[in-house]
Amino acid sequence: MRRTVVIKIGGGAGIELAPVLAEIAGMVREGSSVVLVHGGSAELDALSHALGHPPQTITSASGHTSRRTDRRTLEMFEMAYCGKVNKQIVEHLQRGGVDAVGLSGIDGAIWRAERKGAIRAVEEGRTVMIRDDLSGRVTGVNATLLGSLLELGYMPVLTPPALAEGGVAVNVDADRAAAATAAALGADELLLLSNVPGVLRDPADPSSLIRSASEVGAEAVAAAAGGRMKNKVLAAEEALLGGVRRVVIGSANGATPVANARAGAGTVFEGAMA
Amino acid sequence: MRRTVVIKIGGGAGIELAPVLAEIAGMVREGSSVVLVHGGSAELDALSHALGHPPQTITSASGHTSRRTDRRTLEMFEMAYCGKVNKQIVEHLQRGGVDAVGLSGIDGAIWRAERKGAIRAVEEGRTVMIRDDLSGRVTGVNATLLGSLLELGYMPVLTPPALAEGGVAVNVDADRAAAATAAALGADELLLLSNVPGVLRDPADPSSLIRSASEVGAEAVAAAAGGRMKNKVLAAEEALLGGVRRVVIGSANGATPVANARAGAGTVFEGAMA
């Protein structure tokens, strides 16, 4: 059987796409089925500032922060993620001989989502309820469409938003969407690549990297993972629970980030966790 | 056999999408295969101004004008066409129960293009050669991918750019891309809907509409079609030559623009033209 690998590449500032895309082209040539998932937060931030609607953050009562996604932000989100970044990646892959097909989670309802209900947020010390936020979390994946595309020889390049009940597009976490995708496809591997080397016990110290999540255990990993890393660890655990054999949270930088991650550079999650 | 209809909806200012999309949802429910092609020029113009890189026009030696598409413009083009407009349409269709899949011409190389060579342009009275323009014209359609999507029950929603030799994304005319698509799919009908009622002998006089292109003949139609209408007439002729039975250039406005065009409101092209 063909090996299926889902690779998520972050949308943070300073990530160079060319090396990752060259490695992916090599994997596809060698017969692997690859699905690429990407973000676009740095592009969205830049566009939001340029268009005079700067990024806003929601801080929940528990201290968790997320992007405030009103209708205008969703439009800019689609311009940055589905327009600029997605088509830039597809063009790059096509130039390298890979027949890439760029899709968002709303296309063919590839990612079904549950929209967040009212969010209890803290603004200037006061608790407020936000009811119109267009965000949610992926609850289902159209593996039939993705499987058909792979079968026909295409490489899906996926990006949020996802499709919530009533046909509403919502912002979802791309790491967890990638995890749901890997589980739905029965993927062998999920690589979550971004501008951090993995889960660090001390975010300021790269030598504090947790190399094997399975060895240190879920609690120690959760304790080390703050901020955006929390979602990556959640994604890794969701993928394992969904039957993915191996997940690596690793760096998107360097000449061969995919090979490095596959060789175990980063934080490796294997088998079911406690 | 299922009826296949390709509908192109313009991206000009003031076109309301909701009525067209509601009609399309009805056609899909009744069992027709529909492919929607759209533009986004008004959105691109607005974005270009907002981002400080206003639209520029190339005027050829023969007086033909087209959009100057440098790399920065192409990025904004993809944000407007593939990001904002495409995903807005897909979300709207999904909300109406249509399983739409939004794709650009570079995805799966749906539209292969020939890139324009050097363009001899006139700038402030002087002739200059423009060699870096990212524009071209569609020369091939991936009917296999489109056919598979239709077969699986999805409705393709297509937009430029297209993919030129060497994997370069290029701006192409969406009317002619729609014509090539209709021909490649062996479509029964092609509807080109925009903010004009059809080919007018006098652009200022709606009552000068040419109702049947076949009756008045190709020369009379060509003589009447100036500016952007030229491309629509070319598109109509290319579709007929490619085996499409019927093409209507009509208005995208009103409560039932699709039904109106199918009933013959606009300029109708049928059979091979002289």
Do residues A170 and A227 lie in contact, with contact meaning Cβ atoms separated by under 8 Å?
no
Reported confidence tier of residue B14, pLDDT bands at 50, 70, 90: confident
The predicted model gives A121-129 an average pLDDT of 89
In the chain, the amino acid numbered B185 is L
Distance from CA of B256 to the nearest CA of A (A): 23
- The DSSP string of A155-207 is EEEEES-EEETTTEEEB--HHHHHHHHHHHTT-SEEEEEESS-S-BSSTT-GG
pLDDT in tens, A201-213: 998 898 999 999 9
Lowest mean pLDDT among A116-125, A207-216, A236-245, B73-82: A116-125
CB spacing of A107 vs B101 below 8 angstroms: yes
pLDDT of residue B235: 97
Residue given tokens 């063909």 in the structure block: A2
Res A166 pLDDT > 60: yes
Res A274 pLDDT > 50: no
Res A271 pLDDT > 80: no
Distance from CA of B68 to the nearest CA of A (A): 18
Q: C-alpha angle B190/B85/A17, rounded to 5°? A: 115
pLDDT of residue B26: 97
Q: What percent of chain B has pLDDT over 70?
A: 99
Question: Closest Cα to residue A104, out of A186, A45, A53, A172?
Answer: A172
All structural domains of chain B with their residue ranges: 4-270
* Mean pLDDT for chain A overall: 94
Do residues B42 and B178 lie in contact, with contact meaning Cβ atoms separated by under 8 Å?
no
Chain B residues closer than 8 Å to A106 by CB = 87, 90-91, 94, 102
Distance from CA of B143 to the nearest CA of A (A): 13
- The H-or-E segment that residue A270 falls in is strand A267-270
Which one is the CATH code of B4-270: 1.10.150.20, 3.40.50.720, 3.30.70.20, 3.40.1160.10? 3.40.1160.10
Res B89 pLDDT > 70: yes
Res B274 pLDDT > 50: no
Considering only CB atoms, B108 lies closest to which of A91, A154, A166, namely A154
A231 Cβ contact partners less than 8 Å away, ≥ 6 residues apart = A173, A175, A176
Q: What percent of chain A has pLDDT over 90?
A: 84
pLDDT in tens, B143-158: 999 999 999 999 999 9
Reported confidence tier of residue A117, pLDDT bands at 50, 70, 90: confident
Residue of B nearest to A144 (CA): B152
Chain A residues closer than 8 Å to B167 by CB = 91-92, 94-97
A39 part of contact set with chain B, CB < 8 Å: no
Helix H, strand E, coil C: the string for chain B is: CCCEEEEEECCCCCCCHHHHHHHHHHHHHCCCEEEEEECCHHHHHHHHHHCCCCCCEEEECCCCEEECCCHHHHHHHHHHHHHHHHHHHHHHHHHCCCCEEEEECCHHHCEEEEECCCEEEEECCEEEEECCCCEEEEEEECHHHHHHHHHCCCEEEEECCEEECCCEEEECCHHHHHHHHHHHCCCCEEEEEECCCCCECCCCCHHHECCEHHHHCHHHHHHHCCCCHHHHHHHHHHHHHCCCCEEEEEECCCCCHHHHHHCCCCEEEECCCC
Do residues B254 and B199 lie in contact, with contact meaning Cβ atoms separated by under 8 Å?
no
What is the β-pairing status of strands B189-194 and B57-59? unpaired
Reported confidence tier of residue B1, pLDDT bands at 50, 70, 90: low
A214 Cβ contact partners less than 8 Å away, ≥ 6 residues apart = A268, A269, A270, A271, A273
The predicted model gives A92-104 an average pLDDT of 97
Residue given tokens 């996802």 in the structure block: A162
Residue of A nearest to B154 (CA): A108
Res A272 pLDDT > 80: no
Q: C-alpha angle A58/A60/A66, rounded to 5°? A: 40
Do residues B127 and B141 lie in contact, with contact meaning Cβ atoms separated by under 8 Å?
no
Cis geometry, peptide bond prior to residue A156 (ω within 30 degrees of 0)? no
Considering only CB atoms, A87 lies closest to which of B84, B97, B106, namely B106
pLDDT of residue B272: 58
B90 part of contact set with chain A, CB < 8 Å: yes
Distance from CA of B37 to the nearest CA of A (A): 15
Q: How far apart are the first and last CA of chain B?
A: 30
pLDDT of residue A75: 97
pLDDT of residue A1: 62
The predicted model gives B63-76 an average pLDDT of 92
Model confidence pTM above 0.95: yes
Distance from CA of B270 to the nearest CA of A (A): 34
pLDDT in tens, B160-187: 999 999 999 999 999 999 999 999 999 9
The predicted model gives A163-185 an average pLDDT of 98
Do residues B132 and B98 lie in contact, with contact meaning Cβ atoms separated by under 8 Å?
no
Q: What are phi and psi of A175, to 5 degrees?
A: -65, -45
**Which A residues in the span 160-179 are in contact with B, Cβ-Cβ below 8 Å?**
161, 163, 166-169
pLDDT of residue A249: 98
Do residues A107 and B98 lie in contact, with contact meaning Cβ atoms separated by under 8 Å?
no
SS3 A242: coil
The predicted model gives B199-219 an average pLDDT of 92
Question: Bridge-partner residues for B177, per DSSP?
Answer: none
In the chain, the amino acid numbered A144 is T
pLDDT in tens, A30-78: 999 999 999 999 999 999 999 999 999 998 888 888 899 999 999 999 9
Residue of A nearest to B71 (CA): A88
pLDDT in tens, A145-162: 999 999 999 999 999 999
CB spacing of A78 vs B80 below 8 angstroms: no
pLDDT in tens, A209-261: 999 998 999 899 999 998 889 999 999 999 999 999 999 999 999 999 999 99
Reported confidence tier of residue B72, pLDDT bands at 50, 70, 90: very high
Q: How far apart are CA B199 and CA A32, in angstroms?
A: 52
* Mean pLDDT for chain B overall: 94
A89 Cβ contact partners less than 8 Å away, ≥ 6 residues apart = A17, A21, A36, A38, A100, A102, A157
The dihedral of CA B177, A80, A100, A188: what is its sign?
Answer: negative
Q: How far apart are CA B51 and CA A153, in angstroms?
A: 38
Residue of A nearest to B52 (CA): A50
List Cα–Cα distances, B123 to A203, B55, B101, B119, B133, in angstroms. Answer: 56, 15, 41, 12, 15
Residue given tokens 């830039």 in the structure block: A88
Residue of A nearest to B94 (CA): A167
